[in-house]
Structure 1
Amino acid sequence: MEEDPFVKRLEEFRLYYNHTIHPELVRQERARARLLRLIGFSIFLLLALFVLELIIGIWVVAMFLSIPIVIYIGFLVVQVREFIQGFKPNVMRLILDFMGQMPNYSELHYEPDKSITKTQFLSSGLFATKAEFFLGEDYIKGQVSLMPFEMSELLVRQVSQVGNQLDTVFEGVFLTSTFSEETQGSIRIWPRHRRQYHTRAIKEFTWTGAINVEDEILNEAFRNQFVVYATEDTHVVGILSEPMQAAILDYVEKTGKDIYIAFDDRKVFAGITEPRDLLEPSIFFTNLRFDLIREFYEDVFLILRVVMYFDQTR
């Protein structure tokens, strides 16, 4: 029986982690330990200042002594921010270097402060929203097989119809890609258990002439997992082939995450829910853990694996 490529790559990644990523984490761990010592020293100074004020009872003196401490704490805040902002890019680039050595993956590039644009997100048609709040980071682009792609983490919120609070529309990783050959038609795929939250998006798609095409989906598990609509000119199984359906179901099974997918001619959009910031380092707990790095690698690998199936099953 052929070994699952996901399992095989994970074993290779473990070796790469031991030889390449672990030394970088050790360096980061030293920086984190230094920050903890500085934080501890800051707390000690503040307590000492408080005790001094209790003893002498002169607030003017205490305020004068607090000035250099406040400046020092400001310096400490900058140090903590630099540690957090530097951790992910350093590790992320090492992960992408590993993936760039695999067959079918090329030109992988990472920019921590860039993201998928609001226009790209809305053009998918998967979410009917004005997206009053739109925040993105951790942009990755490259090529999987013959398909160029872009992806980033996104947090999208809209003004609630009840009250003035912001409701979360999407939080996770959003990806766009392009088929290597001409394709015609439009398909939207929503998680079935989230259908009630996307009634407006479904209605907007049906206004363009789209219809429910679940009767064309022979995979019962896929029908149970997703709601599928397409325009009448779309050859559904020609785009959403059975191997592609199996690959999408495999991703959902492995990750337990919701996935949204749209096809518009050659364009492909995919949103994968992720209710946390991936690969964010801890200040107070060790980051020298393989499971922390593995989880992020698995997320990126499985997402791009779905893109590869999009290309291979065309």
Structure 2
Amino acid sequence: MRQLDKFRIYYNHTIHPELMRMERKRIRLLRLLILSGLLLLGVVLFEFYVNILLFTLVLAIPIVFYLLFLSYRIRKFLQTFKPNVMKLVLNFLQEEPNIGQLKYEPERSIPQKTFFESKLFACKPIIFEGEDFISGRVGEMDFDLCELTVEEEATVGTGLQNVFKGIFLHAIFPEETYGQVACWPRHLKHFFLRSIKEFTWLDAYNMDDEILYEPFREMFVTYASMNTHVAGILSEPMQESIVDYCHATGKELYFSFLGKHIFLAVTEPRDMMEPYIWRSNLSFELIRSFLEDVSLLLAIVEDFDKTH
């Protein structure tokens, strides 16, 4: 049975009941917020009608405390939803025979040093924020992944520009391997000229001619160090899986294989499984999208583990 079919059954029997439980909490919270909004509006109108400064100042104190209470209730819901659902998704992934125990730490992230060691993003970040750290093992390889948001000063105009927002993975092969390969989306090559230039300073060259799978060659630019057997690192089944995923999701994928280190990054415009307050979170697609992102990254790591 295909993974998605298995996951749909798992979702119906395990995840959906938890989403229903959280949905009841969301509805209770929503009712509280609406009722509180009407109550506060009534208080404000009454204050305008009375127009007594001392009365307004006295009422301001309980209003502030009540707003803090509402903020606490919202924060508690948001902080409870994702860990509960995330752990159920990870339990499903752990059923795969080659995936070891997965650990989830919502407040932790991959360090900035590791991000730059990938050689994929040459930037000077003003904002580097991460959360939803997942660690585990695929075959013989230990890995960490998390959600990252990286922004730097805009090159044109003022403000900040996005460098990367999505899921970033780092895996380590247990034995030293030879060669360095890095790939960027071809249509975004002009945005990564600085990254490519820094990579070529490490004695790397364009290796597009060694990519025999044409759809992959059309989608990505490939650079590698001299005497690196690119096809031995990027197997054709791996290339096909990457191309199919990018076509199906419209997301961008960046990856590098540097000795025994693997770095993978997939863009995700919104936070992973971030719950809504004002509308329902009963969405199979929301959970499926996260599963597919993580499954692809782990499949690339697994393929590398098997072929090396």
Aligning the two structures, in what range does the TM-score lie when normalised by the shorter sequence?
over 0.9
TM-superposed CA distance for 1:185, in Å, is: 0.8
* Bigger mean CA deviation after superposition, 43-52 or 79-88: 43-52
Q: Distance in 2 between matches of 1:53 and 1:241?
A: 71
Residue 37 of structure 1 is aligned with which of 10, 15, 31? Answer: 31
Structure 2 letter corresponding to 1:298: E
Q: 3-state SS of the aligned residue for 1:310?
A: helix
TM-superposed CA distance for 1:180, in Å, is: 4.5
Matched, 1:13 2:7: yes
Q: Distance in 1 between matches of 2:144 and 2:305?
A: 15
Who is 2:73 aligned against? 79
Q: Distance in 1 between matches of 2:213 and 2:267?
A: 23
Q: Distance in 1 between matches of 2:93 and 2:226?
A: 39
Structure 1: any 5+ residue segments left out of the alignment? none
TM-score of the superposed pair, with normalisation by structure 1: 0.93
Who is 1:168 aligned against? 162
Matched, 1:296 2:290: yes
Aligned length: 308
Structure 1 letter corresponding to 2:138: V
TM-superposed CA distance for 1:163, in Å, is: 4.7
The 8 Å contact of residues 42 and 73 in structure 1, kept in 2 or not, is answered as no
Structure 2: any 5+ residue segments left out of the alignment? none
Identical pairs, percent: 50
Who is 2:177 aligned against? 183
**How does 1:49-88 map onto structure 2 within 5 Å?**
49-88=43-82
Q: Distance in 1 between matches of 2:186 and 2:133?
A: 28
TM-score of the superposed pair, with normalisation by structure 2: 0.94
Q: Distance in 2 between matches of 1:182 and 1:243?
A: 23
Who is 2:232 aligned against? 238
The 8 Å contact of residues 244 and 313 in structure 1, kept in 2 or not, is answered as no
Over aligned residues, Cα RMSD in angstroms?
Answer: 1.6
The 8 Å contact of residues 45 and 69 in structure 1, kept in 2 or not, is answered as no
* Bigger mean CA deviation after superposition, 76-85 or 36-45: 36-45
> 1:130-177: CA deviations, max 9, x gaps?
223211111111112222211111111112344552221111111111
The 8 Å contact of residues 18 and 85 in structure 2, kept in 1 or not, is answered as yes
Who is 1:149 aligned against? 143
Q: 3-state SS of the aligned residue for 1:107?
A: coil
Who is 2:110 aligned against? 116
Runs of 4+ in 1 over 3 A off after TM superposition: 161-164
Who is 1:251 aligned against? 245
Structure 1 letter corresponding to 2:255: I
